[in-house]
């Protein structure tokens, strides 16, 4: 394989559009073909690891559920902790909870109370950035425990939904943008 291969194009080619899922009018970006392709999955992790390897991260916070897949693999590569942020009622020990804005309505996210040390440098990871409400909720949980959100990272960014602006001043990294 030539060294100059266009990683972004390969990854983009492994993301499948599914119209009208989970409801009519939504074009769902399905990452399962990317997960099924070992080369593509490596490329995503390489791209993210290269971005953050020098940053002295203490923890990666992954957002349920597809954020777990990329976040946990990246944490293992970067030798930092992995912390799950989950939908209500899933985490077994004492939790902190935030309310966050969904496209229509609102939801809640939870994180174990003892997840983040005071002053820890944290990277938030999810598969996709849309309006930014979910990542903003996760950031609130991290800050509530005294952590510093170093950046937010996504495989896919739907830039027309303005999530990046919503997350200002947090730096945002995404691999493919639509
Ligand atoms: P948001 O809070 O609006 O940035 O939404 C991001 C969350 O919703 C992520 O956890 C995504 O997995 C999911 N999501 C939103 N829109 C889509 C989409 N078009 N395709 C796939 N996942 C999506």
Contacts with 3 (C-beta within 8 Å, 6 or more apart), sequence order: none
Angle (CA) 106 124 24, round 5°: 40
| Domains, in order of start, for the chain | 56-177 (3.40.50.2020)
Cα–Cα nearest to 134, from 100, 174, 90, 176: 100
Ligand 1 center to 130 CA (angstroms)? 5
Q: What is the model's pTM?
A: 0.96
Task: Give per-10-residue mean pLDDT for the chain (178 aa).
Answer: 80 98 95 98 97 96 98 98 98 98 89 98 98 98 98 98 98 97
Question: Which residues are annotated as catalytic?
Answer: 66, 103
Measuring CA to CA, how many Å separate 157 from each of 111, 131, 148, 164, 173?
Answer: 24, 10, 22, 9, 9
Does ligand 1 have an atom closer than 6 angstroms to the CB of 29? yes
Question: What does the pLDDT read at residue 69?
Answer: 98
Does ligand 1 have an atom closer than 6 angstroms to the CB of 66? yes
Question: What does the pLDDT read at residue 3?
Answer: 62
Does ligand 1 have an atom closer than 6 angstroms to the CB of 132? yes
Ligand 1 center to 38 CA (angstroms)? 23
Does ligand 1 have an atom closer than 6 angstroms to the CB of 153? no
| Ligand 1 closest atom vs CA 137 | 2
Contacts with 141 (C-beta within 8 Å, 6 or more apart), sequence order: 61, 85, 96, 98, 109, 110, 111
* Residue of 134, 163, 164 to test ligand 1 pocket, by largest number of atoms within 8 Å of CB: 134
Joined tokens for residue 145: 């425990």
Question: What does the pLDDT read at residue 2?
Answer: 60
């Amino acid at each position: 394989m030539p060294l100059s291969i266009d990683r972004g194009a390969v990854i983009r080619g492994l993301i499948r559009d599914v119209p009208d899922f989970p409801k009519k009018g939504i074009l769902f970006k399905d990452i399962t073909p990317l997960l099924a392709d070992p080369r593509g999955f490596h490329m995503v992790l390489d791209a993210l690891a290269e971005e953050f390897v020098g940053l002295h991260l203490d923890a990666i916070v992954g957002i349920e559920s597809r954020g777990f897949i990329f976040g946990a693999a990246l944490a293992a590569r970067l030798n930092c902790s992995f912390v799950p942020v989950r939908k209500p009622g899933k985490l077994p020990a004492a939790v902190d909870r935030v309310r966050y804005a969904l496209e229509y309505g609102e939801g809640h996210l939870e994180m174990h109370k003892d997840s983040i040390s005071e002053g820890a440098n944290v990277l938030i990871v999810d598969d996709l950035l849309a309006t930014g409400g979910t990542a903003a909720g996760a950031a609130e949980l991290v800050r509530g425990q005294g952590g510093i959100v170093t950046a937010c990272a996504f495989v896919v960014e739907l830039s027309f939904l303005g999530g990046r602006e919503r997350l200002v001043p947090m730096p945002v990294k995404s691999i493919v943008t639509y």
